[in-house]
């Protein structure tokens, strides 16, 4: 997160149970729990009666250092405590990424009109190659109208959409051609069979690129592919700088699902362990450019496990310790990553001291859709990039 809080990262091992007795001196390697000011176990039943509590975990490497421990945390529910809580949030793990889905409808087209569809895609990798995103266009002519009393008002909208799909799904890319086609990033289908038909555009999962072995180059990356769609009259030209409020817009794009990366995966949590390790290392903090960058580093992440994460931001407990100065006191942060089967137990203890937790996100559940009128076979079921 983009701020300056001193962060301590805890990962509860798979199968961990919160201690209900004993003290921090009894913690075996990896054992995670909450402890009172006298270093005995804190539970949901006794934590509210404390002035403050610690988040603590046993270490495997205890040379010159004891258990890994947070600073003093006190919420509004702690009896006699000096409430130093700034924020308390939870991020729910979502192991499946959601891809963007945009429906284009409300076509305002007359017979024989020239119609252009432009798509502009963005992601971390795409934006390193293309200024203002990967932009491609296709141009088609609206189908002829039926011969009735007012032919110009009876445009075949499904036929227009099918023409757009046919152009979009050609192997060759659109204008400004290179070796990348629309099908690299999108799938297309038509929804509906009358004048209210819509063109559905779904983003594809991003390719997983090879990860470097150098731990200093941030091998885990949050990335998603999102795009904008423009439908306007007339051909596309390289001289026009297409913007969202183009005056020739003749259809309305609606984002029905936004692209969101997967969260709480074991790879993400393992990267956070590395990123925040030095804040709690008693010695040998250097990160060398090799796999064995620190022999004292401990990881409690289990591959393939989803982790809910709790974020606790707080000020120093003893505020009187601050003397006047030309500075801003620095906050602290505790990140607790727990396998989802442990979330309820951890949340019960924290809420007993800090109050109700705010949830930052909810997993997006996408239902599969198919269309027998589409010229391509597709599904909007989400996939992991």
Beta bridge partners of 118: 137, 230
**Eight-state DSSP code of residue 144:** P
Q: And the tokens for 129?
A: 């190659």
Q: Are residues 320 and 241 in the same domain?
A: no
pLDDT at 240 over 60: no
Of 102-111, 233-242, 370-379, the range with the lowest mean pLDDT is: 370-379
The four Cα atoms 352, 358, 361, 364 give a dihedral, to 10 degrees, of 70
- Burial level of 334, CB count in 10 A (0-12/13-18/19+)? buried
pLDDT digits 0-9 by tens, 201-229: 999 888 766 666 665 665 777 788 999 99
Q: Are residues 33 and 108 in the same domain?
A: no
In a domain, 378, yes or no: no
Q: What is the pLDDT of residue 154?
A: 66
Q: And the tokens for 87?
A: 């924020």
Q: What is the pLDDT of residue 287?
A: 55
pLDDT digits 0-9 by tens, 293-305: 566 778 899 999 9
pLDDT at 7 over 50: yes
Q: What is the pLDDT of residue 189?
A: 95
Q: Are residues 110 and 218 in the same domain?
A: yes
CB contact set of 242 (below 8 Å; sequence gap of 6+)? 118, 120, 135, 230, 236
Q: Are residues 250 and 291 in the same domain?
A: no
With pLDDT > 90 as the criterion, what percentage of the chain qualifies? 42
Q: What is the pLDDT of residue 20?
A: 92
Domain boundary among 235, 257, 279: 257
- Provide the pLDDT confidence category of residue 255 given band limits of 50, 70 and 90: very high
- The boundaries of the domain holding residue 312 are 6-94+264-354
In a domain, 381, yes or no: no
Judge contact between 100 and 225, C-beta under 8 A: yes
Query: What distance in Å separates the CA atoms of residue 200 and residue 186, rounded to the nearest whole number?
Result: 10
Instruction: Report angle CA 190, 193, 196 to the nearest 5 degrees.
Output: 85
- Provide the pLDDT confidence category of residue 338 given band limits of 50, 70 and 90: very high
Q: And the tokens for 261?
A: 């990366």
Q: Which residue has the higher pLDDT, 34 or 215?
A: 34
Q: What is the pLDDT of residue 253?
A: 94
Q: Are residues 158 and 215 in the same domain?
A: yes
pLDDT at 89 over 50: yes
pLDDT digits 0-9 by tens, 138-171: 999 988 776 555 555 668 899 999 999 999 988 5
Q: How far is CA 126 from CA 72, 134, 154, 172, in A?
A: 44, 6, 40, 19
- Provide the pLDDT confidence category of residue 178 given band limits of 50, 70 and 90: low
User: How many domains does the chain divide into?
Assistant: 2
Q: Are residues 253 and 149 in the same domain?
A: yes
CB contact set of 53 (below 8 Å; sequence gap of 6+)? 34, 35, 36, 37, 42, 47, 72, 73, 74, 78, 353
Q: Are residues 44 and 167 in the same domain?
A: no
Q: What is the pLDDT of residue 95?
A: 87
- Neighbour tally for 279: CB within 10 Å: 13
Cite the DSSP H helix spans in the chain.
124-129, 157-168, 266-275, 343-354
Q: Are residues 185 and 330 in the same domain?
A: no
Ordered DSSP codes for 27-62? PPTT-EEEE-TTSBB--TTTGGGSS-BEEEE--S--
Query: What distance in Å separates the CA atoms of residue 77 and residue 354, rounded to the nearest whole number?
Result: 6
Of 190-199, 219-228, 260-269, the range with the lowest mean pLDDT is: 219-228
- Neighbour tally for 78: CB within 10 Å: 22
Q: What is the pLDDT of residue 72?
A: 92
């Amino acid at each position: 997160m983009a701020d300056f809080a001193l962060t301590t990262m805890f990962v509860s091992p798979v199968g961990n149970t919160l201690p209900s007795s004993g003290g921090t001196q009894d913690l075996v390697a990896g054992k995670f729990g909450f402890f009172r000011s006298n270093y005995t176990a804190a539970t949901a039943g006794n934590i509210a009666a404390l002035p403050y509590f610690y988040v603590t975990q046993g270490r495997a490497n205890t040379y010159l250092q004891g258990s890994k421990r947070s600073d003093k945390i006190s919420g509004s529910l702690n009896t006699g405590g000096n409430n130093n809580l700034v924020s308390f949030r939870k991020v729910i793990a979502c192991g499946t990424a959601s891809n963007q889905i945009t429906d284009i409808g409300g076509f305002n087209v007359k017979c024989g009109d020239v119609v252009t569809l432009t798509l502009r895609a963005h992601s971390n990798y795409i934006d390193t190659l293309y200024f203002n995103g990967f932009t491609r266009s296709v141009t088609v002519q609206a189908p002829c109208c039926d011969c009735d009393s007012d032919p110009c008002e009876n445009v075949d909208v499904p036929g227009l959409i099918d023409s757009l799909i046919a152009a979009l799904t050609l192997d060759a890319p659109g204008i400004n051609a290179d070796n990348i086609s629309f099908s690299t990033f999108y799938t297309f289908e038509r929804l509906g069979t009358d004048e209210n038909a819509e063109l559905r555009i779904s983003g594809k999962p991003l390719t997983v690129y090879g990860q470097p072995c150098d731990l200093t180059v941030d091998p885990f990356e949050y990335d998603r592919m999102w795009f904008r769609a423009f439908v306007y009259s007339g051909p596309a030209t390289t001289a026009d700088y297409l913007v969202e409020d183009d005056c020739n817009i003749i259809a309305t794009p609606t984002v029905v699902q936004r692209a969101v990366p997967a969260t709480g995966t074991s790879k993400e949590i393992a990267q956070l362990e590395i990123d925040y390790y030095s804040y709690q290392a008693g010695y040998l903090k250097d990160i060398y450019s090799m796999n064995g960058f620190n022999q004292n580093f401990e990881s409690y992440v289990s591959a393939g496990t989803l982790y809910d994460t709790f974020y606790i931001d707080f000020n120093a407990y003893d505020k009187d310790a601050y003397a006047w100065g030309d500075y801003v006191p620095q906050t602290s942060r505790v990140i607790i990553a727990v396998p989802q089967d442990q979330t309820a137990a951890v949340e019960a203890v924290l809420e007993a001291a800090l109050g109700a937790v705010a949830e930052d996100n909810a997993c997006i559940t996408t239902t599969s859709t198919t269309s027998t009128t589409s010229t391509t076979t597709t599904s909007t079921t989400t996939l992991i990039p």
